[in-house]
Amino acid sequence: GAVVSQHPSRVICKSGTSVKIECRSLDFQATTMFWYRQFPKKSLMLMATSNEGSKATYEQGVEKDKFLINHASLTLSTLTVTSAHPEDSSFYICSARQGGTFFGQGTRLTVV
Amino acid sequence: GENVEQHPSTLSVQEGDSAVIKCTYSDSASNYFPWYKQELGKRPQLIIDIRSNVGEKKDQRIAVTLNKTAKHFSLHITETQPEDSAVYFCAAKGGSTLGRLYFGRGTQLTVWP
């Protein structure tokens, strides 16, 4: 299947700092990518839909100023968690479509 | 929007037995139904999918059935093995564009040797 690469796989940051997560489609172009958050033993919760060249579409209850999404090219979308707090600690995962939907490796964010 | 329900939340079977996970969806316009397997700390992996113009699809030990009238679809795993142990998610792609998937809550499958 198609390859979606996410980086970093793990990150630990201090409260108040910002963290950027990258999602790349390696062998195809993706005009749309999706960002999810997953809590332990829970399903994937869609945070936002990232659209190349335009603003992201955020799900209800997701703070757009806190979770900044940039989709500047057809192969790269970034999620920046701004002013991170311990409650932002979670598993963040992106996906893109090429026929089926394929996921990045996920990023385990820990805010201390 | 679409609402996907998944049952059971946990499933334990003996190695060699079959496992069945069931999902229902609400949007009759949904037309694509993938199943994902997620191991602890890993990404969800697409294991099989079915489109609305097909009633059944099989890939070795894995099969998926779709009943459009009843709006439900199921995953069948035969001859289960311990390495099948994982969380399985069903999903439905809504009738709108962009390819957004709506996920079920997941089923923790444990296969005992």
**pLDDT tens-digit map of A1-52:** 679 999 999 999 999 999 999 999 998 999 899 999 999 888 999 999 998 9
Chain B neighbors of A91, CB-CB under 8 A = 41
Mean pLDDT of chain B: 94
Q: Are A41 and A60 in contact (CB under 8 A)?
A: no
- The tokens describing A92, both together, are 């963040």
- By Cβ distance, the residue of A32, A41, A103 closest to B44 is A103
The tens digit of pLDDT for each residue in A65-110 reads 999 999 989 999 999 999 999 999 999 999 998 878 899 999 999 9
Contact B100 A34 (CB under 8 A): yes
- How far apart are the C-alpha atoms of B30 and B34, rounded to whole Å? 12
* Closest chain A C-alpha to B98 CA, distance in angstroms: 7
pLDDT level of residue B78 (50, 70, 90 thresholds): very high
Chain B neighbors of A101, CB-CB under 8 A = 34, 46, 91, 99, 101
Contact A44 B89 (CB under 8 A): yes
- Amino acid at the residue B78: T
Q: Are A6 and A107 in contact (CB under 8 A)?
A: yes
Chain B neighbors of A49, CB-CB under 8 A = 98, 100
